[in-house]
Amino acid sequence: MRLFSPLYARAMQWARHRHAPVYLGTMSFAESSFFPVPPDVMLAPMCLARPERAWRFALLTTLASVAGGLAGYAIGYFSFEALAPWLQTTKYWASYQTAVQWFSDYGFWAVFIAGFSPIPYKVFTIAAGALSMALLPFTLASLVGRGARFYLVAGLMKWGGERMEAALHRYVDRLGWALVALFATGLLLIQV
C-alpha cells in the first residue's frame, strides 16, 4: 500500500515553497517553548530539496530555536507557578522532574544534551527558567547543542543530495511501514 509516497512528495513540494524558510523559523521557535513537533521534520526535506541552502537553513533553525528556548526560559522564570498545575497533568511532568534532577547533577551539560538529543528541549528551557539558571550558560549551551544537531541534519541531507532524495522516494513506503510496525511493537511492549 503506497501511503507514504504521496506524503513524501507533498513534503518535498512544501520544502521548495518560497515561504518554507518562514515556516521553518516559526516552527523552530515554537518547538523550543511549547510546540510538540521538532523542526528536523521540516529542515531535512528543505535541505534535500535545496542542498545549496542547507547551511543557511541550519543557521535559521538554530537561531530561531535558541530564540524560542529563551522564550521557554522566560515562561519558566516568570510563569512557572501558574504553569505547574497544568504541567503536572501532562506527559511532560516526568520529563520536567528529570530535567530538574539533571540541572542539579550536570548544570550546563543538561541543556547541551537536551539541545542536541531528541529529549524534549522545551521542558529543559522551561525548567532552566524555573530554576533561574544563569542566562549566559543557558544560551551558550543552547547554541552549541541545537547548532550541532541542526548542522548535522543539514550536512547529512546536503551530502546525500539528489541520490538520497531518489533513494528515499524509492523506499519511503517500506521505511514508513517499518516505522509504524516498530512504533506498534514498542506500544505493545510498554503495555506488557
pLDDT, one tens digit per residue, over 51-107 is 899 999 999 999 999 999 999 999 999 999 998 898 889 887 888 888 888 888 888
Identify residue 173 by its one-letter amino acid code.
Answer: D
**C-alpha triplet 57, 61, 63: angle, nearest 5°:** 115
pLDDT on residue 172: 67
36 in a structural domain: yes
Segments forming the whole domain that contains residue 120 = 17-160
The gap from C-alpha 57 to its chain's centroid, in whole angstroms, comes to: 14
Secondary structure of 128-179 in the HEC alphabet?
HHHCCCCHHHHHHHHHHHHHHHHHHHHHHHHHHHHHHHHHHHHHHHHHHHHH
Q: Is there a domain that residue 106 lies in?
A: yes
Q: Which residue has the cell 497533568?
A: 89
pLDDT, one tens digit per residue, over 13-46 is 777 788 989 989 998 999 898 877 788 888 888 8
Q: Give Cα 164 to chain centroid, integer Å.
A: 21
Instruction: Report how many domains make up the chain.
Output: 1
In a domain, 178, yes or no: no
Selected residue with higher pLDDT from 121 and 69: 69
Would 183 be classed as within a structural domain?
Answer: no
- 76 within a domain of the structure (yes/no): yes
Q: Which residues contact 113 (CB under 8 A, 6 or more apart)?
A: 102, 106, 119, 145
> Nearest Cα to 27, choosing from 107, 122, 97, 119?
122
Task: Determine if residue 161 is left, alpha or beta; phi over 0 gives left, psi from -120 to 50 gives alpha, anything else beta.
Answer: left
Q: Is residue 5 part of a domain?
A: no
- 28, part of any domain: yes
Quick check: is 80 in a domain? yes
Q: Cα dist. 19→13, 59, 61, 124, 191 in Å?
A: 12, 16, 14, 30, 42
- Residue type (1 letter), 75: I
